[in-house]
Structure 1
C-alpha cells in the first residue's frame, strides 16, 4: 500500500521529502549562499565582538562548544520549536566557523551533497559524531599532536551546514528565512540595535 507523504510517520515524511529535493541541491544558489555567509560575518562582527576578537584557535574551540550544546539538545528529544532553532543554529554556527577558517561554504556544501537521512535520531547521531571530531581536533591542537586540524574542523563545519540545510529542506523550511528570524532576535538584544 502506497501512503501519501502526509499519512506517513514523521521520520518517513522527512526521508520522502529529502529524496524529492535531492535533484536541486543545494536549493540556495552560490550568490545567495555567499550573501548569507557575508551577513553572518557582519552579524558576528557587530553583535558577537567578544567572540570575533578571539584568536582563531579560541574561536574554533568556542564554535565546537556550540556544536556540543546542539548535540545535547538533539539527544534530549526536542519539541518542534527547539528542533527548528537547533537546525538553524547548526547552519549559522557552521557558517561562522567557515568564516573563521576563511573558506566559502557553497562549494563545500555542494561537494558534500544533500544528506538523505535527517530524521531526529539520525540528526542527533550525526551532530554528536561531528562535534566529537571537532572536539578531538581542538584537544589535539592543545598538545600539538600530528593531526589534520584544519581539514577536520573545516570538513565537520561544512558537513554541519549541509546537514542543517538538508534537514530544513526535508521539512520544507526556508533556511534563509530561518536565519533572518534567528539573527533578528539576537540583534534586538543589543543596546545598539537599530544603530549598527
Structure 2
C-alpha cells in the first residue's frame, strides 16, 4: 500500500476514533505524538520484559507516525528496504528523541518543523524497515489494531 493511502486511512480513523486528539491544537497534537514515541522507545528498551509485543509496538508507533505526518502536513515517502538487517532499537530512540526535541522547541518559539519532519520520516522508515526485515505484514496489523481501537469508545457499535 502506498504511504499516501495509509495517511488518508489514518486521517479517517482519527476522525472517527480520536476526535479528542484531533480537537487539540496542531502543536499540542505534535507534543502528544512525541510522548507516544517516548513510550514506544521505553517499550523497546525493556525488550522481553515488556508486556506488549514488538509487533504491537511497531503497529502503534506506525499509527502515531502517520497521525504525526498528517498533523505536520508531511507527505511520507514509500520506503525501499535494501538491507537484510533490522535497524537497531537505539536508532528508534534517537529518532524519538529528535522528535521530542522538536516538540520542546515549540514552547521556546524556536524552529521545530524541519526537525519534526526529519525525525518523523526517520521513525516511519525505521518502522517499515524493521517490519519488512522481520517479515511482519504491517498493513494487516494496522487493520486489526484500528478495529480494536474503534471498539474502545463507549459509543462504538457493539461495545
Same-fold call, TM cutoff 0.5: yes
- Encode CA deviations 1:82-116: one digit per residue, 9 max, x unaligned: 100111112111110001111222x3x44xx4374
- The answer for the alignment partner of 1:47 in structure 2 is 17
On the 8 A contact 1:115/1:163 being kept in 2, the answer is: no
CA deviation vs aligned residue, 1:128-176 (integer Å, no higher than 9, x gap):
111111111111221123x3x1111111112111111111111111111
**1:77 equivalent in structure 2:** 47
Q: Are the aligned partners of 1:118 and 1:167 in contact in 2 as well (CA < 8 Å)? A: yes
**3-state secondary structure, aligned to 2:135:** coil
Correspondence 1:10-159 to 2 at 5 A? 28=1, 30=2, 33-78=3-48, 82-105=53-76, 107=77, 109-110=78-79, 113-114=80-81, 116=83, 117-118=85-86, 122=88, 124-145=89-110, 147=111, 149-159=112-122
Alignment of 1:153-192 (within 5 A): 153-192=116-155
1:80 to partner: Cα distance: 9.2
| 1:41-64 CA distance string (max 9 Å, x none) | 011111111111111110000000
**2: distance between equivalents of 1:127 and 1:115?**
18
Unaligned runs of at least 5 residues, structure 1: 1-27
Give the aligned CA root-mean-square deviation in angstroms: 2.0
In the TM superposition, structure 1's runs of 4+ consecutive aligned residues that sit over 3 Å from their partners are 78-81, 113-117
User: So what's the TM-score if we normalise by structure 1?
Assistant: 0.73
Bigger RCO of structures 1 and 2 (CA < 8 A, at least 6 apart): 1
TM (norm. structure 2) is 0.88
CA distance in 1, matches of 2:37, 2:82: 18
Q: For the pair shown, which has the larger CA radius of gyration, 1 or 2? A: 1
Unaligned runs of 5+ in 2: none
